[in-house]
Amino acid sequence: MSVQIYAGSAALVRRSGVGQAMLHQKQMLAAAGVASTDRPSPDARTVHINTVLPGAPLAALQAHLAGKKVVYYGHSTEEDFRSSFKGSDRLAPLFRRWIRFCYERGDVVITPTPYSKRLLEEAGVRRPIYALSNGVDTDFFAPSAQRRQAFREKYGLSETDKAVLSVGHYIARKGILEFVELARRLPEVRFFWFGHTDLRLVPRRVREAIASAPSNVTFPGFADQAALRDAYCGCDVFAFMSHEETEGIVVLEALACGIPTVVRDIPVYREWLTDGVSVYKAKDDWDFLRKVAGLLDGSLPALTAGGLRTARSRSIPAVGRVLRTIYELEGLPYQSPAEERTALPARASRAAVRQA
């Protein structure tokens, strides 16, 4: 094995997009023919680090002292730290300096989108930065009439009942306040918010919004990947009202399951989601209401085919091929010494790297 995916503090991020990205990296490497482990190994010559928790830069230092290379994944930015937990806005400038310190511990930084790449460059990260999608497992997340039926039976929905879904932590940045208000404006529609955050960690306005949500809103809490897949297949619209993302793995999962999707018109989506082709983009809350209602009553086309094409272009194998090319471009070892001695010379060009 020549790649270690550092698992320190993994339990703290398991239920987040970062935790899912770590799983995807294992799958990408396997799809590209590269063995990996989440345990320290003398054969691991490159280490992936995915968090900015205190132990992560120390792990990067230890890797360098052992003569290993470090790929640091830039999942976090100052912008997406804001409007999250109590005190996050006050701490955001310090967080910007901290993540710059962390990412500078990498030999290479990989971040999900060209947008997040620009943010890291503006934050002063000087390492080589590549934009590479977190990817989506399109074998697992796929349209299914059977899973749709299972979800609707579980939550007492008839085939004619309409349902809107969103996924994320209970934080303002994810759009939970607007989601509750959208449900209030469409009382005949069922709304589901999958995800959970300890309410002691979030501001009062978020706690109050959840407590006062109308009766057509259901908060099932954290769901595993299988239950989440059923929800994507079982609902009629995915309304992702988040104000800031570095990519949005849940958007890729929704598109892969064929659910019509409305996202906020924010910069992160401009280079890979096309309004009216793969998704609908809403400029404000009124626009969300208009487009969600249009999808529910059939006056707007569902755009399912375009969404599926986008998700499949970022499948695990597709992104894995680009990840391996980045390794080759930057001279990062991804084979054991024995494999390297018998391998043919690898060739890669910068033109081969495409945003996946």
Is it the case that residue 350 has pLDDT exceeding 60?
A: no
Least Cα distance to 177 among 211, 223, 200, 221 occurs for 211
**Does the predicted model carry a pTM greater than 0.85?**
yes
pLDDT, average across residues 228-252: 97
Give yes or no: residues 174 and 103 share one domain.
Answer: no
- Give the C-alpha separation, 35 to 142, whole Å: 26
What integer pLDDT is reported at residue 195 of this predicted model?
95
- Give the C-alpha separation, 116 to 106, whole Å: 16
Q: What is the pLDDT of residues 66-122, one digit of tens each?
A: 999 999 999 999 888 887 777 778 888 999 999 999 999 999 999 999 999 999 999
Give yes or no: residues 150 and 294 share one domain.
Answer: yes
What integer pLDDT is reported at residue 16 of this predicted model?
80
Q: What is the pLDDT of residues 241-276, one digit of tens each?
A: 999 999 999 999 999 999 999 999 999 999 999 999
Number of H helices, E strands in the chain: 15, 12
Give yes or no: residues 164 and 241 share one domain.
Answer: yes
Residue 158 resides in a domain: yes
Give yes or no: residues 125 and 159 share one domain.
Answer: no
- Residue 218 and residue 241 in contact, taking contact as beta carbons nearer than 8 Å: no
Give how many domains the chain has, as a whole number: 2
- Residue 189 and residue 216 in contact, taking contact as beta carbons nearer than 8 Å: yes
Give yes or no: residues 308 and 321 share one domain.
Answer: no
Structural domain harbouring 123: 3-135+314-352
What integer pLDDT is reported at residue 307 of this predicted model?
98
Residue 140 resides in a domain: no
**What is the token pair recorded at 227?**
């239950």
Q: What is the pLDDT of residues 289-318, one digit of tens each?
A: 999 999 999 999 999 999 999 999 999 999
Give yes or no: residues 323 and 290 share one domain.
Answer: no
**What is the token pair recorded at 347?**
């060739």
Give yes or no: residues 163 and 301 share one domain.
Answer: yes
Give yes or no: residues 291 and 231 share one domain.
Answer: yes
The sign of the torsion formed by the CA atoms of 112, 113, 116, 122 equals positive
pLDDT-derived band at 12, boundaries 50, 70, 90: low
pLDDT-derived band at 205, boundaries 50, 70, 90: very high
Give yes or no: residues 185 and 125 share one domain.
Answer: no
- Residue 162 and residue 190 in contact, taking contact as beta carbons nearer than 8 Å: yes
CATH number of the domain enclosing 181: 3.40.50.2000
The three-class DSSP label of residue 70 is strand
Give yes or no: residues 75 and 170 share one domain.
Answer: no
pLDDT-derived band at 155, boundaries 50, 70, 90: very high
Give yes or no: residues 230 and 107 share one domain.
Answer: no
**What is the token pair recorded at 25?**
């990296």
pLDDT-derived band at 342, boundaries 50, 70, 90: very low
CATH number of the domain enclosing 340: 3.40.50
